Structure 1
Amino acid sequence: MKGNNKSTKYELVESLAPSSKIPKADSMDGTIGDIFNKEVQRWRTGAAITWAVLTTPVLLTVYVILADISISHPSQWISDCLSTLFSAYFMLIGAVTVLLIGLWCSFSLPTFIVEPEVHTNPLQLAVSMCSPQKLVFGTVCLLLSGVTSLLCTGILQGRYQDLTVCTNSEFCVLNEHHLFLVIYGCYTGVVFYLFHFLKQNNYLQFTSLQQSKYFQVRSGILAVLQTSLHCVLWQTVYFYPLYWLLGHIPTEWIVHSLGLRRSTLTVDSVYGLLDLALLWQSILCGLLVHISWSFSSLLIKVYITERYCFPVESMLDDRKNQCLIDALQCDQNSLVKYLGYLDLSLLSKHSPERRKTVFSLSQPGGHPHNWTKLSTSCMSAIMALSERIQDTNWQVFSQASVRAAADDTKKPPVTQHGSTLTYRGDNVKKETAAPQPAQNGSSFWKSKPIVSYFLTEFPDAKSRKLFASAQLDIWAVEALCNLVAASYTEDNYGVVQKTLPQILTSVIKLQENVEKHLKLVSSGRRAGGWGCLDLPLKYVLHSSLKSCIYRIINVFGVHLLNLNLPSDTSYKLKLFMDFKE
């Protein structure tokens, strides 16, 4: 490709993609995080919400068709559907539903995160679920789903439409079928709120395989349908027993408050809950809420995680704080930092022209500023993670050594007299300090089953928390190794050779620490049990480190042994060359 003026396929896609354009603004003051939010993030979230709103009428149409289904009378079924779909009342309900979807998307945007939340024990998880921000979002889900179910009862009409049914001029009877669907809708919102966080549906996963947004959405629709159906069936199984036990509470309250009467056939009875038509309408109502919100969430994820091409360098003073190195160091906005490392990783693989800018020298002066800044940022992230893993490995190893030593040095039976321990078989006595009242109190509460459950640490929680931000390090390792491999033919000034020993040392050291950690920590147990989407991160990091080291070896071969490397790094590198790793 050297000397060829034609752009590669990836560069052509980058030049045509709207996200690859530098924001055009009259004033480019502020940090890169502020500028990204103002010029890019608003457009992306606005586009996602717009598409979510536009698909709502389609979902409502499917809901009407399934709600009025009648296999035995197909002509009547088609007639009822058409009359409902072209009625002014349905148009009004559709407009309100569109507004509800837009509100949900707006309130859900702050809940999406780029790093997974890892909780140490059930108590920490419960406290996190009760944070003000999450409680506000949960309340919004409850209210919006309740209003959506209320709109569904208006579409269904018949016995589901009104809260009361007047039998004569003297009194009105509570329509429990209507109340059942509304309560079920509110319950659906609460379940969705719980699943949104417990199953980490708010976790933004970036993909290195670059596809158009259309293909990403299309490939995710089937997963949305399957997950929504599973959640609705799961929540319905638990809702019916709950309503049978507690359904009389809201029913009696409404009856006494509005001065109504209850029907002889109540829904909270065994016979009333066996109504298959009511079950069908409940499932459809739950599916409408889950699918519409889950699909909106899918659109938001696809648009937010879309690749953004940052300029490697800028000759304009008003845009110097918008370069790729600024994105890598943007601690103010985690999303910008992740998109920066993703862009650097893809740059190192598919963009020869942009790699030339990385390997170029500054004029005047002839200094490799671009390479120095980018490589320093990546190596800092790699070494920081390596040190954290090494410290954790020492803690795990020391704890295991203490337990092993305690098991190996068992003494003969011990007789306890007050505060003195006397070992039989010798005359050695050991005085123990009197237990403190606080220690007695904590031990007492920890012995209780319920308290013990909330304080018991999740398996592998510390390891998951350690690798929560490993995606950045995966991209950093891939970017460095790909750039090093490409420098063999593209680095005309030899800017990479000076830092090659440091890069090899940091990458191999991280690989050793990760491999030791995987051996020390049991990986067969699942952590937390709820949607641990971040579990593969440490394994992806481990495999990426190995493949990147082999990629450098395949390019440079035995010449790497001539570098000034530490003895342990040279030994490890020799093992890789001999394919013993």
Structure 2
Amino acid sequence: MPSYSKSRFIKFCGIFTSQNILMGILHITIGGLLAGLHLSIKGRKYRFLMSECSVIYGTCLMEEHYFLLLSGFWSGLYFFLKTSIFHIKYLKFPIISSSKLFRFKAGISSLLPSLMAQCIWPTLYYLIGYYFLGPYCCSTILFLASAQLESEPLSNIPSLLNLSLIFQLWLYQLIFILAIDSMYLMFEIYLTEWVSFDFKQSSVFNIDESGMTLPEILSIDKVPIMQHLGYLDLVTITQKDKARRSVLFTLSQPGGHPYNWNCVVEKCTSLIKKFSDDLNACIKPQEPKLSLCAPSSTITDISVFQKQYIYHMRNLIKEEIPICTEQSDMKKDVDSELYIQKFIKTKWNNFLTYLLSKRLIAYIFGEIEGGKVCHILFNGQTVIWAADAISSLAVLSLNEDSYGIAQKDLSLIINTLLTLKQILDKLQRTNLMTKKQYGDDKFIKQIFHSLRAAAKRSLYRIVTNFEIYIGDLELETTTIEQLHSFLAYRE
């Protein structure tokens, strides 16, 4: 999971990690290698960087080759900064499962038109940059290689407006980004492929414990790709795998417990609850917690009372409690130290508040409004699958659950989904979703609307199938009143 960056300064510092530096070096190197390999198979003045001069004596620099070779390094740097630094990487799972070949063809056909337009901007930036910085770079190369120029330099407007040169420059940008995006597309196709996981056969006759089971996969939050694949498999079970659903609705032994069902429901509901609590903490400011300590006077009274009746007999002589001067002096010292600490902390907080009142400082070092919400929503895909899975399994249990094990958790499922729906509605009423926070703002809004649709869809699925049993469920009065809007189809 990508780490949460509280401010823009922390996000900027997070760029300079060893992984990002290595990836940047690799991007720049690959961009230069791709341009160099394509130039090596061309003829005339594009094939070699240095060649013998035809008019004057000595070695001359082929500036067209140098111009295009340098553009390869530029393309690596540009697309690394654009796609790897300022964008959060995520894997898009297909809505409808299909073959890998079909997904690759569809991905490439959708990539090409957008990439052709994207390559126009780095081409223009490189032409502008070469116009201003080209003479200095070229003179440095000539000095280091003891070479000279035989033709007019390219760092002027008529030479840079050569259509053939501009087309080759644009083509090299396109080749590089197409190679990189094709690699990412292949990774995405293979990593998001559906994988079938087994349930745990809780039986005394089953001694094979090799491999990870589906409930174990659902709890691996430190490896998000594994958790995503687990919830994808769970949704697939609810859609088209009746044989594995029968294992889910089976007891461990005759008269035993539904271990598989209990584990799956626990993982799904705890995931949705954690997601709802995290979102709610971002929307609603946390209230100050009440102190659990009793007042000092009460504690003193209790200690005196216990002192008087320590032997469970009434003391006829009133014992005077001596006031220890050393303890009182120590208490005064502690109070003075706490006062000094509180004073320093207050002054420091006032100083930080004053600094953050300045717009520029607040923009760089202040907390990004809505940034935490966007960070939480990036993990919304598993919540969508969890809501769809447990609601579908609850509905399917009407016909397939011969033991009635799913009915005991129906009220828990309804309350969990209803809480998620209410928090998403509360978030919709705020202005957090209207502000642009990331370069992937479109994905954030898409996953948010998908979450709202999944919560409503799941509740409608349960309510419409259990309509005649709503009154028999162990639900609170407020919950039943909230479900009436779904029964009347007003949501």
Taking structure 1 as the reference length, the TM-score comes to 0.69
Q: Mean alpha-carbon deviation: is it higher for 307-316 or for 356-365?
A: 307-316
What letter is aligned with 1:295?
S
In structure 1, the residue corresponding to 2:426 is in which secondary structure? helix
Shift of the alpha carbon at 1:533? 2.2
CA distance in 2 between counterparts of 1:443 and 1:277 reads 57
In structure 2, what is the equivalent of residue 301 of structure 1? 188
Q: 1:386 to 1:438 in 2, by over 3 A?
A: closer
User: For residues 476 and 19 of structure 2, what CA distance do their matches in structure 1 show?
Assistant: 50
Q: 1:580 maps to which residue?
A: 490
Name which of structure 1's ranges 203-212 and 542-551 shifts more when overlaid on structure 2.
Answer: 203-212
Q: Contact conserved, 2:87 with 2:439, CA < 8 A, in 1?
A: no
Instruction: Give the whole-Å Cα distance in 2 for the aligned partners of 1:163 and 1:439.
Output: 62
Verify: 1:358 aligned to 2:248, yes or no: yes
- The answer to whether the 8 A contact 1:312-1:325 is kept is yes
The question of 1:375 aligning with 2:265 is answered yes
Alignment match of 2:179 (pick from 292, 296, 307): 292
> Residues 486 and 445 (structure 1 numbering): CA distance in 2 closer, same or farther, change over 3 Å?
closer
1:146 to 2:146 alignment: no
Q: 1:491, 1:393 → 2: CA distance?
A: 39
Alignment partners' CA distance in 2, 1:548 and 1:374: 17
1:267 and 2:148 matched: no
* Aligned counterpart in structure 2 of residue 347 of structure 1, from 234, 237, 253: 237
Query: What is the CA–CA distance in structure 2 between the aligned matches of 1:529 and 1:397, rounded to whole Å?
Result: 33
Aligned-residue offset at 1:320: 4.9
Question: Is the 2:53–2:150 contact (alpha carbons within 8 Å) kept by the matching residues of 1?
Answer: no
SS at match of 2:414: helix
CA distance in 1 between partners of 2:154 and 2:286 (Å):
56
Corresponding residue for residue 222 of structure 1: 109
**SS of residue in 2 equivalent to 1:173:** strand
Q: Name the CA shift for 1:194/1:288 in 2 (closer, same or farther; >3 Å).
A: same
C-alpha deviation, 1:249, in angstroms: 2.8
How big is the shift at 1:520?
2.4
The answer on whether the counterparts of 1:173 and 1:260 sit within 8 Å (CA) in structure 2 is yes
8 Å CA contact 1:464, 1:535 repeated in 2:
no
Shift of 1:433: 11
Residue 545 of structure 1: SS of its match in structure 2? Answer: helix
Q: 1:469 aligns with which of 379, 386, 403?
A: 379
After superposition, the C-alpha distances for 1:52-83 in whole angstroms (9 at most, x for unaligned) are: xxxxxxxxxxxxxxxxxxxxxxxxxxxxxxxx
2:295 corresponds to which residue?
A: none
Secondary structure of the residue aligned to 2:444 is coil
Name the CA shift for 1:443/1:264 in 2 (closer, same or farther; >3 Å): farther
Deviation at 1:264, TM superposition (A): 4.3
Question: 1:170 Cα deviation (Å)?
Answer: 3.1
CA distance in 1, matches of 2:128, 2:155: 9
**353-362 vs 262-271, which moves further:** 262-271
**Corresponding position of 2:225:** 335
Unaligned runs of 5+ residues in structure 1 are 1-114, 399-431
Please give the per-residue CA displacement for 1:270-304, whole angstroms capped at 9, x wherever unaligned.
22212221111111111111112211211110111
Q: For the residues of structure 2 that align with 1:448 and 1:386, how far apart are their CA atoms?
A: 32
Gaps in structure 2 of 5+ consecutive residues: 289-342
Structure 2: which amino acid aligns with 1:146? Answer: G
* Aligned with residue 389 of structure 1, among 268, 279, 283: 279
How far does residue 331 in structure 1 lie from its aligned partner after superposition? 3.3
Describe the SS at the equivalent of 2:481.
Answer: helix
CA 1:482 to 1:512, structure 2 compared with 1: closer, same or farther past 3 Å?
same
Are residues 493 and 285 of structure 1, via their aligned partners in 2, closer, same or farther at CA, if it must alter by over 3 Å?
same
Change (3 A) 1:527 1:149: same
**How far apart, in 2, do the equivalents of 1:220 and 1:177 lie?**
34
| Equivalent residues in 2 for 1:53-64, closer than 5 Å | none
Q: Answer whether contact 1:121 1:455 (CA < 8 A) is retained.
A: yes
Aligned partner of 2:50 in structure 1 is: 164
| Equivalent residue pairs, number | 433
Cα 1:579/1:209, change in 2 over 3 Å: same
Matches within 5 A, 1:117-156: 119-156=5-42
How far 1:515 sits from its partner (Å)? 1.1
Q: Could you tell me how far 1:488 is from its partner in structure 2?
A: 0.8
Give matches, 1:376-525, under 5 Å.
376-395=266-285, 443=354, 447=358, 449=360, 451=361, 453-455=363-365, 458=368, 460-525=370-435
Contact 2:234–2:389 (CA under 8 A) maintained in structure 1: yes
Spell out, residue by residue over 1:342-390, the C-alpha distance to the aligned partner (whole angstroms, 9 max, x if none): 1101211221111111101112542211111111111111111122222
CA contact (8 A) 2:388 2:458 kept: yes
State whether residues 386 and 513 of structure 1, in contact with CA within 8 Å, keep that contact through their aligned partners in structure 2: yes
Q: Distance in 1 between matches of 2:210 and 2:470?
A: 36
Q: Aligned with 2:60: secondary structure?
A: strand
**Distance apart, 1:514 and its partner CA:** 1.5
